[in-house]
Structure 1
Amino acid sequence: MVEKLPHCLQCVHYFITHDPGRPYGCRAMAFKSQVSPGRVVFKNSGMICQLYSPKKRDLNPSGSKKLA
């Protein structure tokens, strides 16, 4: 059984291109595609992307302290 593919939107290497024919890209693997880069990697290698790195989330993006 195949593990769940990572969500490229949550990866630091993912980017949106200005190319209408290939709108999705991966900086780590230096390519653009018509579909999610993670799907392309899995289709061509049979492996889940090994370069997936989740974005770091700031739990309090405003920088202010939460009041109780």
Structure 2
Amino acid sequence: MAVNCFQCQYFFVTWDPKNPRGCKAYGFKTRELPSIVVRKSSGMECLKFEPKKGGS
């Protein structure tokens, strides 16, 4: 199953137009979704995925 970065607590949006998405767990910014970069680099799905904490 593919990881959805938008549902991960480590995903963030940057102000950098060249690299608008980032991952706090791995510490990088990218144009693509971070989970795609992780899969391309390692051949594995992201192992740092943590669902966002739901607020009431």
Same fold (TM over 0.5): yes
Unmatched segments (≥5 aa) in structure 2: none
2-structure distance, mates of 1:38, 1:5: 8
Between 1 and 2, higher relative CO (CA 8 Å, sep ≥ 6) is seen in 2
Identical pairs, percent: 43
2:35 corresponds in structure 1 to: 38
- Taking structure 2 as the reference length, the TM-score comes to 0.94
- Taking structure 1 as the reference length, the TM-score comes to 0.78
Aligned alpha-carbon RMSD (Å):
0.8
2:11 corresponds in structure 1 to: 14
Segments of 4+ moved more than 3 angstroms = none
1:27 corresponds in structure 2 to: 24
Unmatched segments (≥5 aa) in structure 1: 62-68
